Chain A
């Protein structure tokens, strides 16, 4: 089955700087890659997703890039703010709607 790896496990950034989280996946049939943000004690919230027919997608301060050849995708957060502090999960799916998640990345934005 699909195996998703996520790096780094913890990321600290100064407020206003950019944060980048990288994920790799193993199944070349995967074609859908969502990112979820989970604040402490709350549900995972979908923040952005990308399908395999595009290489990049942007939504305000958040962007995701996908490299199908290398089987990796990344989340970019620009101009980080304290409310961006959370755990971020990447995931991959091959069309069966079953999501395979990474282990999560704790992002800490230092004011």
Chain B
């Protein structure tokens, strides 16, 4: 069964550094997402991406964040200048749905980002 994959599984970075988190969504899926989960808190939506552009973003997704689909398989989340409060588990998800139709979102295993 196809799965969403993410790399790396754990990333440690110093405050102020740039990080890129990578995801490979399921191949026939159309919608891609990033969520984050700060330790002990709920999973929070960051951004959704469809047809090579952002379709929706949350208030968390400020100018420090960007997403990109650099090729036909990868989907990346970049944090330009990391802050301590960016430490969290970041989940990528994908779904085969089109707009306004709810289909199952499949999650990757997550990247644990630790900012020191």
Assembly CA distance A93 to B108 (angstroms): 19
Which residues of B in the span 20-68 have a Cβ within 8 Å of any Cβ on A?
31, 33, 35, 41-45, 48, 55-56, 58
The answer to whether B56 and A98 have CB atoms under 8 Å apart is yes
Chain A's interface size range is 20 to 34
The answer to the question of B75 belonging to the interface, with a C-beta cut-off of 8 Å to chain A, is: no
Mask, A37-53, CB within 8 Å of B = 1, is 00000111110010100
Complex Cα gap A95–B102 (Å): 6
Q: Which residue of chain B has the shortest Cβ distance to A93 in the bound complex?
A: B102
* A68 interfacial contact with B, CB 8 Å: no
- A46–B100 CB distance below 8 A: no
Residues on B with beta carbons closer than 8 Å to the beta carbon of A36: 107
Tell me the bound Cα distance from A103 to B41 in angstroms. 6
Contact B110 A43 (CB under 8 A): yes
In the bound assembly, the distance between CA atoms of A51 and B97 in angstroms comes to: 15
The residues of B that contact A99 with a CB separation of less than 8 Å are 33, 35, 43, 45, 105
Is the beta-carbon distance between A51 and B104 smaller than 8 angstroms? no
Partner of B42, one of A31, A98, A102: A102
B67 to chain A, nearest CB (A): 14
Q: Is B95 an interface residue (CB 8 A)?
A: yes
Bound Cα distance from A93 to B101, whole angstroms: 10
A89-106 interface code vs B (CB 8 A; 1 in, 0 out): 101010111111111100
Q: Are B48 and A97 in contact (CB under 8 A)?
A: yes
Q: A43 contacts which chain B residues (CB < 8 A)?
A: 4, 91, 107-110
Q: How far is the CB of B85 from chain A (nearest CB, A)?
A: 18
For the complex with contacts A95-B102, A96-B100, A103-B42, 4 further pairs of A-B residues with Cβ separation under 8 Å are A43-B91, A97-B33, A97-B99, A99-B35
